[in-house]
Amino acid sequence: MSDAETIAVIPGDGIGHEVVPAALRVLEAVDGVDFEFVHVEAGDAVAERTGEPLPEETLAAVTSADATLFGATGETSADVILPLRDAVDSFVNVRPARTYPGVDAVQPETDLVILRENTEGVYAGIENRLSADVSTLTRLVTRSASRRLGEFACDYVADADADGFTVAHKNNVMRVTDGLFVDTIEEVAADRGVEVDDQYMDAMATHLAMNPAEYDVIVCPNLAGDVLSDLAAGLVGGLGLLPSANVGAERGIFEPVHGCAPDIAGEGVANPAATVLSTAMLLDFLDYDGAAAAVRTAVESTLADGPRTPDLGGSATTDELATAIVDRLPDS
Ligand code: ATP
Ligand code: MG
């Protein structure tokens, strides 16, 4: 057997402290992978105690681990996840959204993935207050970031055996920035012989809500990816089901799409599926394909047969769901 995989573990705030331990129970029960977990802190609680939302020790753990499992943070999110994604240079956030047998969905035919640009756009953090009443934000788009996203998308399409991808943008309004974004991605796709379709992101929102089955791989600027993936979550049964992977570079950070859900935090009823499915993406990233498939199968069969957490109409606790998933893993 290979050496242990070092995983930095950051529960963060709120339901992060419920869904991350649940996902760790699943990872620990997976056969054939040896993990060493490094538990570190980030977010509102540690900021309140120490003044620092992202302690040096946490940053060091993430940059030296093979991968990171992240829960969610609250008010301090932008001070935590943005620098972390930056520190490992994970330039794309992969967000699959699909329906599951047994889970009520607004759009049962949905099975798509959003590839969200992760480093720039309006989330680059370039904001200025010019006066008490006037503020500005600079939207950063570079050829290099657009190019590597385009290349990632082409590789993704090839691996997934997809026909091509759709790029979301608004180059009729943001002519310079989204002009560069779309043109660069289309150039890469043309060089690679990958089919690409492009759509205005607002029109895409409508079309996605009504005809999600027409989409397979969607490539988005940062903010559009954030919004469209929450829309996709609504189509498939809620935020409790959507995992994500911050990848593209040597190290990855895996986290549910949802936030720290202060409205249900502490009740022990958060749906851990999104975080468990994020660990399946982590296993894929570390090349444990069999283990990743086993986790996905166990989640699917649990969602099909129950128990279910309240967000999916059941009354199970986070722990009960984790136990059901662990029980469905193949015996070691
Ligand atoms: P962020 O800004 O970090 O994305 P947010 O404001 O979008 O956070 P979330 O924390 O994602 O908010 O929560 C949005 C809603 O979805 C809340 O009502 C929350 O309870 C619900 N929710 C989120 N995650 C889960 C989960 N794992 N299980 C059940 N309900 C969830
Ligand atoms: Mg959100």
Which pLDDT does position 240 carry in this prediction?
Answer: 95
0.80 exceeded by pTM = yes
Nearest ligand 1 atom, CA 270: 28
104: which residues sit within 8 A by CB, 6+ positions away?
237, 312, 313
Which pLDDT does position 125 carry in this prediction?
Answer: 87
ipTM of the complex: 0.94
Nearest ligand 1 atom, CA 226: 4
**CA neighbours closer than 13 Å in the CB half-sphere of residue 152:** 25
Instruction: Report which DSSP code applies to 239.
Output: G
- The string of DSSP letters for 243-254 reads EEEEESSSSEEE
Which pLDDT does position 45 carry in this prediction?
Answer: 96
Phi, psi of 33 (to 5 degrees): -130, 135
Other C-beta atoms closer than 10 Å to the C-beta of 111 total 14
Q: Which residues in the chain land under pLDDT 70? A: 1-2, 332
Looking at the DSSP assignment, which residues form a beta bridge with residue 131?
134
Which pLDDT does position 86 carry in this prediction?
Answer: 87
- Pick the closest to residue 284 from 331, 323, 257, 244 (CA basis): 244
Of 223, 239, 318, the one to substitute when testing ligand 1's pocket (max ligand atoms within 8 A of C-beta) is 239
CA angle 292, 295, 298 (to 5 degrees): 150
Which pLDDT does position 82 carry in this prediction?
Answer: 87
Which pLDDT does position 2 carry in this prediction?
Answer: 54
Backbone conformation region of residue 81, classed left if phi is above 0, alpha if psi is from -120 to 50, else beta:
alpha
- The string of DSSP letters for 83-106 reads HHHHHTT--EEEEEEE--TTS--S
Report the share of the chain in percent with pLDDT over 70.
Answer: 99
